Structure 1
Amino acid sequence: MKKTILAIAIPALFASAANAAVIYDKDGTTFDIYGRVQANYYGEHNESVAATKGKWVPNKNTGVNEWQAGSPAGYKNVDGELVGSSRLGWSGKVALNNTWSGIAKTEWQVSAENSNNKFDSRHIYVGFDGTQYGKIIFGQTDTAFYDVLEATDIFNEWGNVGNFYDGRQEGQIIYSNAIGGFKGKLSYQTNDDKAVKVTDMGQGIKEEAIFGEDVKRNYGYAAAAGYDFDFGLGLNAGYSYSDLESTSENITGDKEEWALGAHYAINGFYFAGAFTRGDLSHDTSTGGKKDKGRGYELAASYNVDAWTLLAGYNFKEVKADSSAAGAEYKDQVDEFLLGVQYNFTSKLKAYTEYKIQGIDNLDDEWTVALQYNF
């Protein structure tokens, strides 16, 4: 059931094992290569810029620390441009006995010369697949919490932002298993001296903005569970926790997030929704604060022949310093999404997506793209 749902719901993921080029397959050992190349034209728009904190930096000439003021939140104009990018990955599997196999996977995102994040590792892990005993992997990939959000992550470009998920993390140990319609996953993240994947809690609040540039995740863990019914309905729930601190300032704290989700597929139609809550607590010598956030995501698609139509809605609001007098929730994300995709073949597709902004001072956004998968 899960494979059927994903095939309908996530048309963006053509670069999957099903489309991979099998380089070697013999005596229980397989090795596949997969990837994609695409070109996007993004229309002109403006985007918000988060506030930055002031900090002390050394003067290159004198070596004496000088105060560098931060900048307030604002907006910047982004010119329309054509942007190229590519993705490359491989996966391997070797049979150890009738039950257990060794597995490994790597995947990188490579952007064009003038783009940011030119070379970004996405998935890098190694582990064991024990069939009915489950799978255990070690390395970098999505945490268990993403299992709840995956159902609404169906767009090629946007969507899936009504949450406070920190994204793929390195240094993880992850166990997953599925028995009948039940499925579950547990993940634990070891110490990360430089936690670079941080999610905006809203109102310019990020772990970086609170804890300073040197955010350390001492440890983190996540859990997700769900059930897929035979008639197309799936239910999911998840929780994640991170213990955080600053290595340059006297600040400690933690981050928690909860999520509930559901999805349903029938006759080419797919519907999904997720509700999330997030808390970011931080303590200093002058006291503690807690920022609270909540959000939800809705997504739908309809597939007929080579065409896929997509629609979605994302909403997120945050209450900064929630215990302060007069603190109230303020909208951070409020957007409708529309998309049309056409598959020339199983490997070549074109799509266009449009984001209708509900936040004041932000422009609507759109893109047109051509993508080749191998």
Structure 2
Amino acid sequence: MKKTLLATAIAGAMVVSASASAATVYNQDGTKLDLYGNIQIAYANTNDSNGESTDEIADNGSTFGFAAEHVITSDVTGYLKLEFDDFKADEQKIAGRDSGDQAYVGAKGYFGDVRLGSYDPLIDDWIQDPITNNEYFDVSDSNSGIANVGTEDREGDKLTFTSPSFGGLQFALGTQYKGDAEENEFTGTLGEGVTHTVEADSNASFFGGAKYTAGAFSIAAAYDNLDNYDGTVTSAVDSDGNATAASVVGTDVEVGDQYGVTAQYTMGALRVAAKYEQFDSEAEDGDIDFAALGARYGYGMGDVYGAYQNISFENDNDDRNEVIVGASYNISSAMYTWVEVATLDKEEDAGDGFATGITYLF
């Protein structure tokens, strides 16, 4: 499950949230500890890469978490968040401890907010989520281009400073640091049909953004230089698993940059958003542009929502148009159900389908 119904639902749309349903297990002498979680189970029927329909009942992101804070001074509060997911609630299994969601510590106060640990990328929170942060299906984003280098670590080893609001203007600056003592190899695609392993040196990337809010209107921009995913090819194989020409090994790989801007406006129970995002690729596939519109309306007992996105590829005429629609219904203050339908305009209708599920929160 994504974060929308838990954290970013508009007023009146949902009657439950992670913070509202969390249980405070300790609150004394300036220290507070909350316990929260959810069970999410979904049924999905989607097309695979060959266009064949496949279905399953699956865990949809069940989560168990702790949130704590304590008063450092009258103006500064320290906090932490520790969140586990991937419980596979549909089969009553628990994933290994290589799995998790978020874990960070921080301090907030008159100066703003400083956070260290593992958490969502800034471009995810500020740019992508307002369009679709749904239960099962989301429109594509610039992270899909980054996936070509094989990295899945967009959340770890980050430090972010977020300023207070200055008359509605707020900014954020941060870095993701990867040291040479860490496993710092990525596997991905280097040209058509070639899989490569890249070894990267110690590096601190840069990301940042700015957001302006005026009443019901807000606009945000974000940028990430993705420097941690640049490196040197140490090995490469073709689609048959055979080693490629030695000239490939030792070459430098630059992933590129990602940036985007999103504007949104809230009118009562209706929120509309527009996004432009680009993965500024250094690979031969070229840049990828994403232009999207999204809307969410709270009808009292849940939400109805939808999004349209056009994806344009610089060196490919095969542009795509994605459409996702969905609705949720609140069974109670702690339980809701939902249904979503998606068409992603890929070859063989890959990824198209529908899904439905139920979530219980505490």
Q: Same fold (TM over 0.5)?
A: yes
Structure 2 counterpart of 1:262: 263
Q: Structure 1 143/245 Cα, relative in aligned 2: closer, same or farther at 3 Å?
A: same
* Matched ranges for 1:44-123 at <5 A: 45-48=46-49, 75=50, 77=52, 79-85=54-60, 86-112=62-88, 113=91, 120-123=99-102
The list of structure 1 runs, each at least 4 consecutive aligned residues, that deviate by more than 4 angstroms after superposition, is 9-15, 113-119, 192-198, 208-211, 213-217
**Equivalent pair of 2:272/2:295 in contact (CA under 8 Å):** yes
Q: Secondary structure at the match of 1:305?
A: coil
**Partner residue of 1:145 out of 123, 127, 131:** 123
Percent identical: 18
How much has 1:107 moved relative to structure 2?
Answer: 1.2
After superposition, the Cα gap between the structure-2 partners of 1:25 and 1:34, relative to the gap in structure 1 and judged at 3 Å, is: same
Query: Which residue number in structure 2 is paired with residue 234 of structure 1?
Result: 218
Q: Which of 193, 197, 206 is residue 221 of structure 1 equivalent to?
A: 206
The answer on 1:293 being equivalent to 2:288 is yes
* Map of 2:282 onto structure 1: 281
Which runs of 5 or more structure 1 residues have no equivalent in the other structure? 49-74, 283-288, 320-326
Give deviations 1:45-95, integer Å, cap 9, x for gaps: 3233xxxxxxxxxxxxxxxxxxxxxxxxxx374621211352111111111
How far is the alpha carbon of 1:272 from its aligned partner? 0.8
1:39 to 38, 41, 63: 41
Q: 1:351/1:216 Cα in 2 relative to 1: closer, same or farther (>3 Å)?
A: farther
Aligned to 2:112: 134
Distance in 2, Cα, partners of 1:19 & 1:173? 29
Q: Structure 2: give runs of 5+ residues left out of the alignment.
A: 1-6, 147-152, 235-248
Q: Which amino acid is 2:300 matched to? A: D
The number of aligned residues is: 323
Partner of 2:178: 191
**Aligned residue type for 1:123:** Q
CA distance in 1, matches of 2:339, 2:79: 36
State whether residues 300 and 310 of structure 1, in contact with CA within 8 Å, keep that contact through their aligned partners in structure 2.
Answer: yes
Are the equivalent residues in 1 in contact too, given 2:51–2:349 (CA < 8 A)? no
Between 1 and 2, higher relative CO (CA 8 Å, sep ≥ 6) is seen in 2
- Output one character per residue of 1:158-201: Cα deviation in whole Å (capped at 9) or x when no partner: 22423337674211111012314222111101116546899x9x
1:64 is aligned to none
Change (3 A) 1:354 1:10: farther
Taking a change above 3 Å as real, the CA distance of residues 223 and 81 of structure 1, as seen in their structure-2 partners, is: same
> Where is the strand percentage greater, Structure 1 or Structure 2?
1
Instruction: Give the C-alpha shift of residue 371 in structure 1.
Output: 0.5
Q: Aligned partners of 1:307, 1:290: CA distance in 2, in Å?
A: 41
Matched-pair contact (CA < 8 Å) for 1:125–1:138: yes
